Structure 1
Amino acid sequence: MVVREESYTGARYFEREVSTEGDDVEDLIKNIVETYIETKCTIFTPNDERVENIIKKLQRVEL
Protein backbone atom coordinates (compact mmCIF):
# COMPACT_ATOMS: atom_id res chain seq x y z
CA MET A 1 0.00 0.00 0.00
CA VAL A 2 1.28 3.45 -0.91
CA VAL A 3 -0.02 6.62 0.73
CA ARG A 4 0.67 10.03 -0.79
CA GLU A 5 -0.64 13.32 0.52
CA GLU A 6 -1.94 15.46 -2.36
CA SER A 7 -4.41 17.94 -1.00
CA TYR A 8 -5.04 21.64 -1.61
CA THR A 9 -2.34 22.56 0.89
CA GLY A 10 0.59 20.53 2.03
CA ALA A 11 3.62 18.86 0.52
CA ARG A 12 2.92 19.74 -3.11
CA TYR A 13 3.89 23.36 -2.45
CA PHE A 14 7.34 22.24 -1.34
CA GLU A 15 8.14 19.76 -4.12
CA ARG A 16 10.05 22.32 -6.18
CA GLU A 17 12.62 24.88 -5.10
CA VAL A 18 12.38 28.46 -6.26
CA SER A 19 15.45 29.52 -8.24
CA THR A 20 17.56 32.16 -6.51
CA GLU A 21 19.29 33.15 -9.73
CA GLY A 22 18.63 36.57 -11.16
CA ASP A 23 20.06 40.02 -11.52
CA ASP A 24 17.42 41.97 -9.61
CA VAL A 25 14.25 41.71 -7.54
CA GLU A 26 12.10 41.48 -10.68
CA ASP A 27 13.97 38.34 -11.77
CA LEU A 28 13.47 36.79 -8.34
CA ILE A 29 9.75 37.58 -8.37
CA LYS A 30 9.47 35.96 -11.82
CA ASN A 31 11.16 32.85 -10.39
CA ILE A 32 8.56 32.69 -7.62
CA VAL A 33 5.69 33.12 -10.08
CA GLU A 34 7.06 30.50 -12.49
CA THR A 35 7.40 27.98 -9.66
CA TYR A 36 4.02 28.42 -8.04
CA ILE A 37 1.96 28.96 -11.19
CA GLU A 38 2.73 25.31 -11.96
CA THR A 39 0.93 24.14 -8.81
CA LYS A 40 -2.20 22.32 -9.91
CA CYS A 41 -5.44 23.34 -8.24
CA THR A 42 -7.20 20.44 -6.55
CA ILE A 43 -10.69 21.89 -6.79
CA PHE A 44 -10.88 22.79 -10.48
CA THR A 45 -12.72 20.20 -12.55
CA PRO A 46 -12.19 18.61 -14.91
CA ASN A 47 -8.54 18.42 -13.96
CA ASP A 48 -6.97 15.62 -15.99
CA GLU A 49 -3.47 17.09 -15.59
CA ARG A 50 -3.67 16.70 -11.82
CA VAL A 51 -4.68 13.05 -12.15
CA GLU A 52 -1.82 12.46 -14.61
CA ASN A 53 0.65 14.02 -12.14
CA ILE A 54 -0.56 11.76 -9.33
CA ILE A 55 -0.14 8.70 -11.55
CA LYS A 56 3.40 9.81 -12.52
CA LYS A 57 4.32 10.19 -8.83
CA LEU A 58 3.04 6.71 -8.08
CA GLN A 59 5.01 5.25 -10.98
CA ARG A 60 8.24 6.67 -9.49
CA VAL A 61 7.66 4.82 -6.21
CA GLU A 62 9.56 1.56 -5.87
CA LEU A 63 7.39 -1.12 -4.34
Structure 2
Amino acid sequence: MLCYEELREAVDNGYIIGDTLNVVRKNGKVFDYALPGEPVRPWEIVTVESLIDIMTELSNYQ
Protein backbone atom coordinates (compact mmCIF):
# COMPACT_ATOMS: atom_id res chain seq x y z
CA MET A 1 0.00 0.00 0.00
CA LEU A 2 1.24 3.46 -0.89
CA CYS A 3 1.95 5.84 1.98
CA TYR A 4 1.97 9.62 2.05
CA GLU A 5 5.75 9.88 2.56
CA GLU A 6 6.48 7.68 -0.45
CA LEU A 7 4.24 9.75 -2.71
CA ARG A 8 5.66 13.03 -1.35
CA GLU A 9 9.19 11.79 -2.09
CA ALA A 10 8.22 10.90 -5.67
CA VAL A 11 6.82 14.41 -6.16
CA ASP A 12 9.86 16.07 -4.55
CA ASN A 13 12.26 14.03 -6.72
CA GLY A 14 10.41 14.96 -9.92
CA TYR A 15 9.03 11.52 -10.76
CA ILE A 16 5.51 12.91 -10.55
CA ILE A 17 4.79 16.24 -12.19
CA GLY A 18 1.52 17.95 -12.92
CA ASP A 19 -1.82 17.95 -11.16
CA THR A 20 -2.97 14.40 -11.87
CA LEU A 21 -1.74 10.92 -11.05
CA ASN A 22 -2.43 7.42 -12.40
CA VAL A 23 -3.72 5.57 -9.34
CA VAL A 24 -4.04 1.83 -8.73
CA ARG A 25 -6.55 0.94 -6.00
CA LYS A 26 -6.96 -2.31 -4.11
CA ASN A 27 -10.08 -2.85 -1.98
CA GLY A 28 -10.96 0.81 -2.47
CA LYS A 29 -7.68 2.14 -1.03
CA VAL A 30 -4.74 3.65 -2.89
CA PHE A 31 -2.35 0.77 -3.50
CA ASP A 32 0.19 2.26 -5.92
CA TYR A 33 0.69 4.78 -8.67
CA ALA A 34 1.76 4.24 -12.26
CA LEU A 35 4.04 6.63 -14.09
CA PRO A 36 3.14 7.55 -17.70
CA GLY A 37 4.10 4.68 -19.99
CA GLU A 38 4.75 2.31 -17.08
CA PRO A 39 3.19 -1.11 -17.69
CA VAL A 40 0.50 -2.29 -15.30
CA ARG A 41 -0.71 -5.81 -14.65
CA PRO A 42 -3.80 -6.85 -16.63
CA TRP A 43 -5.92 -7.17 -13.48
CA GLU A 44 -5.02 -3.71 -12.14
CA ILE A 45 -7.47 -0.89 -12.71
CA VAL A 46 -5.81 2.47 -13.17
CA THR A 47 -7.69 5.75 -12.84
CA VAL A 48 -6.49 9.30 -13.34
CA GLU A 49 -7.09 11.28 -10.16
CA SER A 50 -6.14 14.64 -8.72
CA LEU A 51 -2.74 14.60 -7.01
CA ILE A 52 -4.02 16.85 -4.22
CA ASP A 53 -7.00 14.56 -3.59
CA ILE A 54 -4.75 11.49 -3.37
CA MET A 55 -2.27 13.20 -1.04
CA THR A 56 -5.17 14.29 1.19
CA GLU A 57 -6.59 10.77 1.19
CA LEU A 58 -3.21 9.24 2.08
CA SER A 59 -2.64 11.73 4.89
CA ASN A 60 -5.96 10.63 6.41
CA TYR A 61 -4.84 6.96 6.52
CA GLN A 62 -2.27 7.69 9.19
**TM-score after normalising by structure 1:** 0.31
Q: Which has the higher contact order (CA 8 A, sep 6+)?
A: 2
- Of Structure 1 and Structure 2, the greater strand share is in 2
Computing the radius of gyration over CA atoms, which structure comes out larger, 1 or 2? 1
- Of Structure 1 and Structure 2, the greater helix share is in 1
